[in-house]
Structure 1
């Protein structure tokens, strides 16, 4: 797996045996930029891509999955999140590209998960020659449930990150608006004091001149 330098913030790679590969990462996508990731996939191997824009602009990004023969497997424009499953028709290096070229000033923070191959079963269960025992069945069910919990936790963390960024942005806008209001109130108060001071200042009268 080759990853463009200086863009990866969090990278977690899990390799189970030689059949299943899972790459989960969060990276920054600058404005007017394109970042591509490469993964070698064997023929007739299933793969799935899931992504979501966490922060930046309108939370949208262009996505393209390209095969080793330059064929377009998946392509979407200005998507906030999506998932796509496909089966490799040829052995080779597959390319996943995220584009932010349509944005001239908004940086994006993008989450991506790429799973290649079937999920590896628990040790001792995948090649079980006889019927599973009750303990093995329970262990397999717990394993599946834990995987679903991990997926749910990931999505909750992404939504939490979006909510936190939105709250921080709103807090910053409220802060600067409050500062502008404070400055305006101080200026108005100063102007009122100067006007009242002019009303009560000593002025020469006609009697004093005589």
Structure 2
């Protein structure tokens, strides 16, 4: 399968000091289920975000479970979802994406499972005195750049989704045009054959006299 237009959505796994998580795009086959696991400490702010980029009716089942198999978050046949939580216990948390209800449609899914806060710039916040104007500006630029990255990711997802829909629409229009062309050719040939039979009958009747 050609997925050159989805190069920008290649999976990236990010592990950072003070913040961990996974951000990737993966393909979920029909009648399949995929799970991701994350070790989370008690009281660590975490967030889950997902979006179905392509495939079928753009829907998927999502379940987030805690260490004791308790269900923290569940969505049935959803295209997009976001959930923020703070674990009350330390352990392994899992999020599962299910496409078992689909018999032939593969899904392309983007998932962002983040644990902890974004670490500050090196050297910023390591001293007890107030930050200088330069440090404050650097931290603000750092936060703005992270926001830009998030916006770019969502715009790329939206662009990929729109491109896929446009390609599907173009394919349907092409098939419809080919079908109409074949129908016109069949009708044209049929009309010629019918007219030809009319003239052949007249010649036969004239010959009998």
Assess same fold via TM > 0.5.
yes
State the partner residue of 1:43.
42
Equivalent pairs, count: 200
Q: 1:204 Cα shift? A: 4.1
State the partner residue of 1:138.
137
CA distance in structure 1 between the partners assigned to 2:208 and 2:94 by the alignment: 94
State the partner residue of 2:31.
32
CA distance in structure 2 between the partners assigned to 1:62 and 1:22 by the alignment: 21
State the partner residue of 1:96.
95
CA distance in structure 2 between the partners assigned to 1:170 and 1:164 by the alignment: 10
State the partner residue of 1:13.
13
TM-score of the aligned structures, taking structure 1 as reference length: 0.89
Q: 1:90 Cα shift? A: 1.7
State the partner residue of 1:80.
79
Residues 187 and 85 of structure 1, relative CA distance in 2, 3 Å threshold: same
Q: 1:159 Cα shift? A: 0.7
TM-score of the aligned structures, taking structure 2 as reference length: 0.89
CA distance in structure 1 between the partners assigned to 2:100 and 2:13 by the alignment: 28
The residue matched to 1:203 in structure 2 has which SS? helix
1:134-154 CA distances to partner (integer Å, 9 max, x unpaired)? 111111111111111111111
* Structure in which a larger fraction of residues adopt helix: 2
1:104-163 CA distances to partner (integer Å, 9 max, x unpaired)? 222211100011111100111122321111111111111111111111111111111110
Which stretches of structure 1, 4 residues or more, deviate above 3 A after TM superposition?
199-202
The residue matched to 2:138 in structure 1 has which SS? helix
Gaps of 5+ in 1: 1-8
Residues 184 and 144 of structure 1, relative CA distance in 2, 3 Å threshold: same
CA distance in structure 2 between the partners assigned to 1:106 and 1:120 by the alignment: 39
CA distance in structure 1 between the partners assigned to 2:208 and 2:111 by the alignment: 87
Gaps of 5+ in 2: 1-8
The residue matched to 1:59 in structure 2 has which SS? coil
In the alignment, does 2:197 pair up with 1:188?
A: no
Q: 1:11 Cα shift? A: 2.3
